[in-house]
Amino acid sequence: MIDLLAPTRHRGAPPIPQPDPDQAGHPALLTGTGELFSHGQLRSTVAELAARLPDVSTGRRLVHLPMRRDLASVLSYLATLEAGHVALVTAEAAQSAAILQRYPPDISATGQMNRPFELHSVAPRHLLHPELALLLSTSGSTGSPKLVRLSARNLRSNAEAIARALQLTAADRAVTSLPLHYCFGLSVLHSHLVAGGSVLLHEGSVVEPSLWEAIDGRQVTTLAVVPHMVELMESTGVLERPHPSLRLLAQAGGRMSPGRVQRTVDLGREGGWELAVMYGQTEATARICVLDPALVAQNPDAVGHPVAGTSLHLDTSVPEAQAGSGEVLVRGPGVMMGYAEHPDDLALGAMHSELRTGDLGRIGPDGLLRLVGRRSGFVKVMGVRIDVAVVENALESAGYTGCVGADGAVLAVAVEPLPGRDAAEVAAGARAVAVRASGLGPAAVALAVATLPRLPNGKVDRPGCAALVSGTGSAPGTGMQGGEKSPVARIAGTIGAVLGIEAVDPGRSFVQHGGDSLSHVQASLKLESFLGPLPRGWHHRPLAELAGLPRREPFPVAPGSAGSPGDGPGPAARRGVRARLRFRSVESTVVLRALAVVAICGSHAQLFDLLGGAHILLAVAGYNTVRFGLAVPGITARWRAAARMLLGVAVPTMAVALFGMLATQRYGWSNVLLGHWLFGHPVAGSTRNEYWFIDALAAGIVVLAAVLSVPAVSRAWARDPWRVAAVLTALALVPRFAVPALTQGPMEQSIMPTVFWLVAAGAAAAYAGTRGRRWATFALAVLGGATFFPGDPQHCATVLAGVAVLLFIQRLPVPAAALPLLSLLASASLYIYLVQFLVLSMFENDVVETIAALAAGTLLWLVADRPVRHLQDALIPMRGR
């Protein structure tokens, strides 16, 4: 008998706190219909069902359990284990005919609560080993009669190890996002019950709103996923929405590319949850390794440390091993008893002391396992030995989802279609990647573009893919049809035009091509004109991947309003279409930049009195600095990015300030060198302090880069950037209050030490992914800004309103007719700020002054932006460009 219903405290590591499992009301199982079983109720119900099974004294029985994600299936499964019989867990009976024919069960679960079991044989049909508890299909084949034999010790020890590695507690609640006949899905049930937590039974898929309504409504804290599910969630944008209760995404079931791991980590930071990457096999009772969420960002290519009680070593003598790698061998209490390929095998005891996984890996000095391929993942085509994993990884990096194998004398490649791209174009692009990665000629690659067949556990059905290519594979295609540019070509052309570069790699992101906070305005607005609103973090995704994103409405219309899908083709629908065409959804930072620079010019021209625009721009600068340049991993890379940003700010500033100094004597060398706050001794009314914003911006970039260069801070930033930025904001409030109190100078609101808190608050806003963190950041801003301008509450309110928009409003509706002007003003905001003071002194009329300053700055930007970018590339080229 195995008792999964008795939570335990773990020895050695910090104990998992447990409630009294019999405490009334503490949940163990919940259903979508509102049924709830406390741990005590579950125990008594399972005991009652176990009593309906034959007593083990009359012989242990083989009980077939076609597992569904419902209450009857789970109760029958737990009752089988409780009674001491052997559970034969499969998918629906129709999918398991070969298994049932090979291993005819003594008893079957019916899926009905009133009659849970059906007896097939009075006497046991099989001799079952005393330690045998569970039979599962191997992870690659849910219908194969080859089964994995697992003991009660395997189940209990692995459940406890997973609970410890994921730090599960009685407060955690999982949802059955995976099939329960799949070892990963079943381990979610085991580990949460062992930890004293609860499991919500739900049949929904991650693309169905009902599952997310259940996750949010029933307070699910942990979500188990496989790579295909992460791909689906990323494409639909569901993880960009808030899910307040979610604390952990646990991924296993296959390799995720480091890029997708990093993007998922970034989404988690914004959403307030973490990612745990895991590695396992059915033969090891689910989990072998878990990568602690705190280490994922810095090690996106790793699968973690072994779980408690498990050890790893590498067999470097296998023929497929390369330098530093070998076949991964596993020892520990989770290693299976062995395989069953015949009913007689059910009587065997443990046949293995270690598990040869068939995976090739490396173990680093940090003890982390990194997988590099499969021993069986090599094929020979025309005498050339090809690593399938290398080709599939290359396809994934280029934005394709593919499956690779061999079919006679050709490499067989199947790739899924990409939205908005015709099959010939996808085939041509994927074939080029496969040819490059494999070293074969184009004629040796057979390729099919179709939806990949998948097993019930979400993994690709490789034999099905081979049949797909064999039946529909094509010779090299001709690429695009009809002369229309593909989405990838349009995206590449747009990025190339914005950044002034000719060579654009669709496998690299906007930021990797040199995009920064100054160029993202143009890039995002132009891309959205044909892609629709871009998701958060788009600038870090490969360009080819953006082409596959589902198109979203420019500015959503509420269901039931004019123009919603239910309106039909009538006048209301036409009005709704016109309404959508009249407005575009734009990133709030773009709107803030445009409005702030208009407010600055208009206020300086005394057209109106709306001060605070420059302080808002400092917060926006902090927000964008950590989203773009300083978002790159590694201290050296951050300094390179910071240097590029400084060049983009310093070159136009020095040029304009030098012209102003020589032509009008308005400025001095302290302005030209961006250090007037440090060297120029600003005083009230001093024209030379007009560039205080530029001084503070440049110094703020340097300070942020310097702080993130401290190794301990850099590691903390990788784990949780918001926490670092929030602490930095709090620390920056010290000089904000101390400098005015000590100096009582006239310009304390416009020198770097007193305004840096705005830059830091903007950085915190960029990663404030939860409601609590947004409010905490805003509280720090209120502390700094409520009395920043003594005697001028309107000025304070304007700045805080800008910070609030940055924190709480990701996108804003903008009239489509105003979008070109808004884009110009936002893109040219730096140049407008620089030239405004020289232009304003040339006119007498307030309106003319304002318009002239805006026009002059925009014209200067149009002339100077491209040369400045070429200078950046010449002095500090982007890595890989």
Q: Are residues 401 and 496 in the same domain?
A: no
- Given a contact cutoff of 8 angstroms between Cβ atoms, the answer to whether 515 and 202 are in contact is no
> Which CATH number covers residue 519?
1.10.1200
Per-residue exposure over 678-707, b if at least 16 CB sit within 10 Å of its own CB, e if not = eebebeeeeebbbbbbbbbbbbbbbbbbeb
Direct distance between the N- and C-terminal alpha carbons of the chain, in angstroms, rounded to an integer: 62
In a domain, 223, yes or no: yes
Packing angle of the helix pair 829-840, 819-827 (nearest 10 deg) = 80
Domains in the chain: how many in total? 4
In a domain, 881, yes or no: no
Q: Are residues 292 and 401 in the same domain?
A: no
Packing angle of the helix pair 71-83, 39-51 (nearest 10 deg) = 70
Q: 857 CB contacts (<8 Å, ≥6 apart)?
A: 597, 828, 829, 831, 832, 833, 834, 835, 836, 839
- Given a contact cutoff of 8 angstroms between Cβ atoms, the answer to whether 406 and 445 are in contact is no
Angle at the Cα of 790 (from 784 to 795), degrees rounded to 5? 75
Per DSSP bridges, beta strands 62-66 and 222-225 are unpaired
- So what's the pLDDT on residue 236? 81
Per-residue exposure over 575-587, b if at least 16 CB sit within 10 Å of its own CB, e if not = ebeeebeebbbbb
- Chunk the chain into consecutive blocks of 10 residues (it has 881) and report each block's average pLDDT, rounded to whole numbers: 50 35 69 86 92 93 94 95 94 74 92 89 92 84 76 95 95 94 93 94 88 92 91 84 94 86 91 94 93 94 95 88 88 94 92 88 93 74 67 84 75 85 83 81 80 72 70 43 50 77 65 73 78 75 65 42 37 45 78 92 88 92 85 76 89 91 87 79 63 89 91 83 93 90 63 89 90 93 91 91 92 85 89 90 86 93 88 73 45
**What whole-number distance in Å separates Cα of residue 434 and Cα of residue 415?**
11
- So what's the pLDDT on residue 427? 85
Identity of the residue numbered 484: E
Which of 582, 602, 620 is the C-terminal boundary of a domain? 582
In a domain, 365, yes or no: yes
Pick the closest to residue 193 from 162, 150, 148 (CA basis).
Answer: 162
**What whole-number distance in Å separates Cα of residue 754 and Cα of residue 173?**
46
HEC profile of 519-568? CHHHHHHHHHHHHCCCCCCHHHCEHHHHHCCCCCCCCCCCCCCCCCHHHC
Pick the closest to residue 589 from 642, 524, 498 (CA basis).
Answer: 524
In a domain, 213, yes or no: yes
pTM as predicted? 0.54
Q: How many CB atoms lie within 10 A of CB 503?
A: 8
- So what's the pLDDT on residue 517? 67
Q: Are residues 385 and 363 in the same domain?
A: no
**What whole-number distance in Å separates Cα of residue 657 and Cα of residue 671?**
6
User: What is the span of the domain harbouring residue 541?
Assistant: 487-582
Q: Are residues 41 and 99 in the same domain?
A: yes
Pick the closest to residue 812 from 510, 554, 532 (CA basis).
Answer: 554
- So what's the pLDDT on residue 322? 78
Which of 355, 370, 385 is the C-terminal boundary of a domain? 370
Which of 472, 506, 532 is the C-terminal boundary of a domain? 472
Q: In DSSP terms, which residues pair with 374 in a beta bridge?
A: 359
- Given a contact cutoff of 8 angstroms between Cβ atoms, the answer to whether 311 and 168 are in contact is no
> Which CATH number covers residue 420?
3.30.300.30
The distance of Cα 760 from the centroid of its chain, to the nearest Å, equals: 24
Q: Are residues 287 and 429 in the same domain?
A: no
Cβ-in-10-Å burial (0-12, 13-18, 19+) of 560 comes to exposed
Q: How far, in Å, are 583, 812, 813 from residue 562 at the CA level?
A: 14, 20, 17
Q: 483 CB contacts (<8 Å, ≥6 apart)?
A: none
